[in-house]
Amino acid sequence: MKGHSPVADYVLVCSGSSDRQVKALADSVEKTLKDHGMYALGIEGYGEGKWILEDFGDVIVHIFHEGMREFYEIEKLWAFADEIEDI
């Protein structure tokens, strides 16, 4: 997204197969980024565990329950951006 959007430099989209796994992924992302000095500006959807949005400023994280990810297909919103496979 860097150079393409004023909102964030990176957008991470991932999914889990259960509400519990989606929440665990969100917890892991938050802890890992906190360990690197990045703190969440906002977190939405954690209570439901269907679609969690974590805003770390330059990094936006979308964590979906698999069915929700297939339904919304938000990757299409950023089809113009470079994709990073391995991070």
Domains and CATH numbers, the chain: 10-78 (3.30.460.10)
Element (H, E) at 51: strand 51-55
pLDDT at 20 over 90: yes
* pLDDT value, residue 6: 56
Residue 17: which pLDDT band, with cuts at 50, 70 and 90? Answer: very high
pLDDT at 4 over 70: no
d(CA 68, CA 61): 15
Task: List residues bridging with 14 in a β-sheet.
Answer: 63
